[in-house]
Amino acid sequence: SVEEGLSQLPRAKRSICFNLLEAALEGIVNDASKWKVLLSQSQSEKSSFCDLVPASVLEKMSSFGSLSASCLHGETDPRCLLQVLRLLNRTQQVMLPLFDSQHYSIGSHMKVEESHPGGKVAFPSVVIFDAVAPYYPVHFTPPKNDPHGITRDMLQNSLMSVLCERGAKYNHFNITEIDNAGGKESGEDETMITLSGRMFLERLDPPKTVMDYDPVSSGSNSEVEDKLDAVRDLSVLLLPSSSENTNPNIRRVTTAFLTELSSSLARVHEQSITSATGSPTTDDATGGLDAEDQISLASSIRQFSSTLAHWLEENGPSSFGFGLNGGEKKAEMIDSSLWEAFVVDIIRRLSPTLGSAPQGLHGRASTAYLASLAAGGGLVTLNKVLQSCIPGFLGVLALLDENREDSTTSTQSSNAKNRDEEKMAAAMRGIAALISSCRVTLGRLERKYRGVKINPHPMLLYSSKIIQKISLALNSIAKHADDSQLSLAAVAALESILTTADLQALNEEDVNSMIKSFSTLASFILQTDDAVIKTSSSDEWKTACARALGALISNGFVDVNAEVSEECHHLCVYAESLLRQTLLSASSPPDVSFDSSCNRYDWIVLAGACSNGPLFVSRRIVFDLCSRIIKDLQMNPFKDDSINFFPLTALSYLVRNGGMNVSISFHEKDGRQSFSFAIIDELCKSVKRKSSANGVTTGERDMQIPIGMSQLKLPLSEAGDWEEANTVIRRAYLILPHLLHAYERTPAISSCKTLIDSIGQVIPPLSEWDEVKLSVCLPLLASILNCSDHVWSKLEASSIDGLKSMTPYLAQFCMSPDHKPYARSSASSCLFSTIFHASNDEEQCDDDEYAIVHQLLDNNVFPALEEAVESLKADVSDLACKETSGFVSASSFSRVEDILNFMSVLGSAAECKGGPYARVGDAIAKFLVELTCTGMAKFSSNREAIELISFTKDGKENPLMNLSAHISILSASAFGNMLSVQNGGPFWRQRITHKTLPTILKALQEQSQSQYPPALGTLAIICHMLCCLPVSVLGGSHVRQFVPTLVAGLVYYSKNTSVVVESEMLSSKASGLLSIVITSLAKMLSNSPDDLTKFMEIIIPSLSLLCASIISNEYIPIQVLVLQCLELATKHPHARNTAQREKEQVVAVLSALVDHPSSIIRHTAVQVRNVWYSTL
């Protein structure tokens, strides 16, 4: 036989045989195309190409398909297996369209030589399925260093292509004829699609009655993973891909198969929910993961079933679905019986449980499954689910009437009442779930049909009854908070029906019941003595009430021009009254002490109203809050303790949790300006402008202005204006943190141009009030520019040009010590964003001499740096001449530090920008490194070298007390700032590391040959590089060259802790460097401990000595880092012997720290001591 012959051939010759079969298929394709051309030229238009294919030819084609399938038997080589699978799929694509179902059979199980009644010829779909089915699912792990590149996904995709008949276009398969012919009993449904579908179903829902069942999976995957794969395979088989509108396979299955599929999906869905509910989730980690997998499986099943129901309904006849498919009849419609088999039968089977025991696992699983069908299916599916389920839920809720009657006699036992309450709560949650499904479906249809409303509303028949039941459930909690399950479910259902139902169709009784229910809920949220609830038991209840009230405001508060019914008008009036009451409560402080961990439920109400309501609701809320903010700023211009921050905090909360409409309302212009700039204007106003009217102060408004030479007075001192300006800035900085969130959203782009124009008018600042405006506007502008990269694509060209024109002034502002640090930092952030994002025409030039960074360096940075360095040198010389202990002027020292830090900002921005700017960034990095390691650096050939420090013998012997050593840390810190920027891609750090390493390694080599302690500047540089760069960027050899200097620095600090304290009189740079040294050591102990192995005998005693020597409370963070390093030292794989030798000394030091004044040190010391005791 062919199989025996193929099995004896080597792989290469088998591949040649398969190539021969592929060539035969291509010959059929070529002949068919020529035949179609001849038919098009003939006069006959009645005959199609398929009608003219002789039966004898089709029999040969059927034999060819069987032969191709037989080649797969026993094939184990992945290359040949992949080739044969692709051959079989190509066979389906070429031959299946020729087997017209009117004359021939697509999926008979009969042999080729046998004929069907009527002369039909069978395509061997069953033979092909029998050949490929043993390979499902594919379990293949490619060998290491496989040169062929065949993966499991490639084999799985090829196998699925055969099982799904991917690419086979035949449109004459009549599923109705098969069902009428007897379905499975006559063998007509044995097609590739139904066979594959049942194989996938067998994997999803294995039969329980067959004792010798062999699972499809080989056992390498868990049961849940197998079922998830089966759901994905069913989706590939039956659902359309993202690029297709429909899947033709859905028309190639029978109603019997869809009924079986629907039942299996519901059964496995219930099993997964039961398993997830019963799986442990706290103590057993494996059980928790299994529960998560079960939940994921249930979610996948619901997604698949709802999507399939949607496509079955969507592609039905034009009359199917109430005419929502459009006026044109589709060429290929799905018979409505398929939808009925998949949807109606399962609804009919599951819905009775909802009216009898909705609280059980079966009832809850059925509720979730049917709700997903209603949400994902179409309008017909939704109506069918509502019609079958809601009457049952309402029947369960009839117990509310019985309980109300029994409450007077108390004849019902407490256990019975609890059972009834659980049952009613489950029914109420089921109603809420179905209402939410209705909202999802209606929203999808409204978007699809461009705002067309569905009439009549699907909830029209049930809204009134549901509202009455909800009102009955909430009547019992009129005077106290009730967080029972029934109460929570009733509030959730009330929120759902309010956001879904047609409010115009409500009658007076329904409206009155809703108003009564909402009044009950509002009494728990808006009362002043209970605005903040700290008890955890009522948090869920309060949140549910707040969400419901937010839904009322978002849907009941209508525009003034809207036309509403008389009954709905009463609800709208109540919603407006509730909104005013909520705004008053949200803007007022609670009576109890406010804690950040407490919930402001009145804010939750407003956030829900803004997120779910139309834009005019957010406008009303933002208008009220901003008006209160502006009014309070006008009434309390300088009393920081009297400012009411609650409107500010409420607005900040709404920006973060109330959706995009809040930011839009805050930034849109209302008349002359937006609320955002109205608040900015109030923040920047002086006392005279706040308290004056027409230029006359309030104290002098009614006084006669004195006239005469004797009344002349000297002008007021500027000190008063600066004091007033500083007070305004201090108050603004208390308010700005609450406003920044509103400027970190996309709608803030509309305010960007006005901010840029305002800043451009006052920079550089010429008065103290220009300084105030910059201090307020720069942080806001920085927040907008850095909120996302999409901001720059939406900015106007004039705004970008305005930013680029301000860069020189921003640079001067950043480097000047006369301005507020927060404002300077914001200006630096704006400048960084401008360089990084704004495009420049100069980038197209080969010569980057005119690039923006070069201009800033030449015109602003280096002139200021040269002047600052000369001033610093003069101060150092004066200090040396006086021969007294002390420090130079803080202004000259900080001036140099500010300029170097600003240079690092320019360098990092240039590096992140890339292109020609990268060369400027590289030059800045090399300049800073050379300035640190040698004390002198030259930026370019046309500039003179700058000498920052000069190393003396005394400075080398005792760097901690040497001013030059402290100064060298400034440039090292600036270089570290460049490395710490997380932007611009992964390669620019690698490039500047490559360019600066030669200078660093040369300095390390020179220091290794001397007996002096390590230079502080060089030590700072290598520590910054170890902290900011991964080992893959630095290189293992370079890291090992850094380690001796790092260890030497640790030893030097451990022996001179008292000198570190004394060095504070010079600057705080030495103690800051100590923290960087310890941080670098901690990172290496965690990530690359092998590089420290031969130094552990030095590291552990040094850490112990350092830990014992630090006694000042100012160094508590450093001491915590040291303790962390001691703990990491016990985990070193090759330092156990060293740790055991030092154990006694280390434990003694740790025991002494147990009595430390700081609780953090005490707890950390106890933890580290326990580790040393337990691991060694």
Percent of the chain scoring above 70 in pLDDT: 80
d(CA 546, CA 602): 7
**Residue 654 confidence (pLDDT) above 60:** yes
Percent of the chain scoring above 90 in pLDDT: 31
For range 68-90, the mean pLDDT: 87
CB 159 within 8 A of CB 139: no
The lowest-confidence range among 69-83, 456-470, 1142-1156 is: 69-83
Confidence of residue 623 (pLDDT cuts 50, 70, 90): very high
**Residue 1074 confidence (pLDDT) above 60:** yes
Rounded to 5 degrees, what are φ and ψ at 600?
-95, 100
d(CA 305, CA 385): 14
The residue with greater pLDDT, 837 or 317, is: 837
The lowest-confidence range among 201-210, 427-436, 708-717, 1037-1046 is: 708-717
**Residue 385 confidence (pLDDT) above 50:** yes
- CA dihedral (752, 757, 763, 769) in degrees, to 10, reads -90
pLDDT at 285: 41
pLDDT at 527: 54
CB 287 within 8 A of CB 278: no
Q: How many helices (H) and strands (E) does the chain have?
A: 50, 8
- What pLDDT digit, counting tens, does each position of 868-914 carry? 888 888 877 776 665 544 555 567 888 999 999 999 999 999 998 88
Give the residues across from 946 on adjacent strands: 937
CB 6 within 8 A of CB 17: yes
**Residue 1060 confidence (pLDDT) above 90:** no
pLDDT at 19: 87
For range 1034-1040, the mean pLDDT: 91
pLDDT at 524: 78
HSE-CB for 1095 with a 13 A CA cutoff: 23
pLDDT at 848: 41
The lowest-confidence range among 49-63, 132-146, 522-536 is: 522-536
Please enumerate in sequence order all residues whose Cβ is within 8 A of that of 526, keeping only pairs 6 or more positions apart, or say none. 581, 582, 585, 602
**Residue 199 confidence (pLDDT) above 70:** yes
Residue of 822, 739, 742 lying closest to 787 (CA atoms): 742
3-state class (DSSP) for residue 423: helix
The residue with greater pLDDT, 100 or 807, is: 807
Confidence of residue 1162 (pLDDT cuts 50, 70, 90): very high
Confidence of residue 452 (pLDDT cuts 50, 70, 90): confident
The lowest-confidence range among 7-21, 293-307, 335-349 is: 7-21
pLDDT at 883: 54
- What pLDDT digit, counting tens, does each position of 556-590 carry? 877 656 666 777 788 888 989 999 999 998 888 87
**Residue 109 confidence (pLDDT) above 90:** no
Which pair of structure tokens corresponds to residue 409?
């006699």
3-state class (DSSP) for residue 575: helix
- What pLDDT digit, counting tens, does each position of 509-535 carry? 888 888 888 888 888 777 544 444 444
pLDDT at 915: 82
Residue the block writes with tokens 């909402």: 518
b vs e for 453-472, b when ≥16 Cβ sit within 10 Å of the residue's Cβ?
ebeebbbeebbbbbbbbbbb
**Residue 730 confidence (pLDDT) above 70:** yes
pLDDT at 1009: 86
Q: Which long-range contacts (CB under 8 A, 24 or more apart) does 362-367 make?
A: 362/270, 363/426, 363/430, 364/273, 364/426, 365/269, 365/270, 365/273, 365/274, 366/266, 366/270, 367/426, 367/429, 367/430, 367/433
**Residue 52 confidence (pLDDT) above 80:** no
Mean pLDDT across the chain: 81
pLDDT at 368: 93
pLDDT at 321: 45
What is the DSSP code string of 456-492? S-TTTTTHHHHHHHHHHHHGGGSSS----HHHHHHHH
HEC readout, 240-292: CCCCCCCCHHHHHCCHHHHHHHHHHHHHHHHHHHHHHHHCCCCCCHHHHHHHH
d(CA 1139, CA 1132): 9
Helix or strand run (H / E) with residue 108: none
HEC readout, 598-654: CEEHHHHHHHHHHHHCCHHHHHHHHHHHHHHHHHHHHHCCCCHHHCCCHHHHHHHHH
Tell me how far the alpha carbon of residue 283 is from its chain's centroid: 29
Give the residues across from 599 on adjacent strands: 533
For range 46-54, the mean pLDDT: 64
Residue of 803, 797, 781, 697 lying closest to 736 (CA atoms): 781
The residue with greater pLDDT, 290 or 232, is: 232
Tally of residues, the chain: 1176
Confidence of residue 596 (pLDDT cuts 50, 70, 90): low
**Residue 729 confidence (pLDDT) above 70:** yes
**Residue 777 confidence (pLDDT) above 90:** yes
**Residue 989 confidence (pLDDT) above 70:** yes
pLDDT at 954: 74
The residue with greater pLDDT, 854 or 1148, is: 1148
pLDDT at 1150: 92
Confidence of residue 304 (pLDDT cuts 50, 70, 90): very high
The residue with greater pLDDT, 287 or 458, is: 458
Confidence of residue 261 (pLDDT cuts 50, 70, 90): very high
pLDDT at 839: 60
Residue of 179, 229, 221 lying closest to 203 (CA atoms): 229
pLDDT at 606: 93
The lowest-confidence range among 180-194, 695-709, 762-776, 929-943 is: 695-709
pLDDT at 670: 67
pLDDT at 209: 62
3-state DSSP helix/strand/coil percent for the chain, to nearest 5?
70, 0, 25
Which pair of structure tokens corresponds to residue 556?
């009941």
d(CA 403, CA 700): 74
pLDDT at 74: 80
